[in-house]
Amino acid sequence: MKIQERTGAGNNRSAAPAQPGVGERLPAPPRERKPALAALAVLLILVGALGATVLVLRAGDRIEVVKITKPIQAGESVVDGENITGVMVAEDDSINYIPYEQRGALAKLKAKSTIPGGVVAVGEMFGAKSGLPAGKASVGLSLKEGQYPSDLKVGDTVSAFPVVSGTSTGKGSSGSSGTSGTPLVASAKVNTVADKSDATVSTGNLSITLVVPQEEVAALASAASEGKVVVARVSDNGN
């Protein structure tokens, strides 16, 4: 009887579930994998890196364009080294920049309206025709050597004086000429100056055009047709 009781007690002990020992952890349930979310995260990282790369490359894609350094009046042209310079900007197809290498062709065009200094030039600012301000006219002059400053250039402010011929009498006397103290045009802008290098034979003559008030055109044109005009540079606005 004692043997059976012991055997039965032993069987009862072996049938009881084993309990985990102190310090042992229960097994964790397997994690649910989400490959779609992982792929989306990787895709977002790649797109962000690609966008940053494009921005860096675009920032480094720069071109040299024309910048206006001094104000250009309506009807005037650019003069390299006088009122324009080159400046580097980020390339942008939506802006009609004028490449600095095309400044020679730009010099043949006229400003449609007054262009302030310090701005970057765009194609819309210039045209083949001179956009003269209201109440102004353009007059052409053919001047002989001595009737104009030797360093006359586009953009200069000048006065135009009539040449007055006089005759004196007496032994050895000869005709003489001079300028009147009253100008035909008190203030005019030099719009164009012919390039002397274009002439086959250098004669010292110079062809220019002036932008003058319309009410002064008749007197200036009449004197110019007779070659009796002297042009003198004057200060602009008292400067």
113 and 147 assigned to the same domain: no
- Evaluate if residue 28 carries a pLDDT over 80: no
pLDDT at 174 (0 to 100) = 42
- Measured CA to CA, the distance from residue 89 to residue 67 in angstroms comes to 10
162 and 219 assigned to the same domain: yes
Residue 224 lies in a domain: yes
CATH classification at residue 115: 3.90.1210.10
146 and 201 assigned to the same domain: yes
Other CB atoms within a 10 A radius of the CB of residue 212 amount to 24
Phi/psi for 38 (5° steps) reads -65, -40
229 and 196 assigned to the same domain: yes
pLDDT at 172 (0 to 100) = 40
> Looking at residues 112-132, what average pLDDT do you find?
82
Residue 180 lies in a domain: yes
Q: What is the mean pLDDT of the chain?
A: 77
Cβ atoms of residues 235 and 157 within 8 Å: yes
Q: How confident is the model at residue 16 (pLDDT cuts 50, 70, 90)?
A: low
211 and 151 assigned to the same domain: yes
159 and 100 assigned to the same domain: no
Residue 28 lies in a domain: no
**More confident: 174 or 89:** 89
140 and 226 assigned to the same domain: yes
**More confident: 172 or 23:** 23
Tell me which residue range forms the domain holding 195.
136-168+176-233
pLDDT in tens, 63-107: 999 999 988 877 788 988 889 999 999 888 888 999 999 999 998
pLDDT at 199 (0 to 100) = 44
107 and 182 assigned to the same domain: no
pLDDT at 239 (0 to 100) = 45
Residue 35 lies in a domain: no
pLDDT at 11 (0 to 100) = 52
144 and 164 assigned to the same domain: yes
219 and 141 assigned to the same domain: yes
150 and 90 assigned to the same domain: no
- In degrees to the nearest 10, what's the CA dihedral of 89, 91, 94, 99? 70
Residue 17 lies in a domain: no
76 and 150 assigned to the same domain: no
Q: What's the burial of 80, exposed, middle or buried (CB within 10 Å: 0-12/13-18/19+)?
A: middle
pLDDT at 233 (0 to 100) = 92
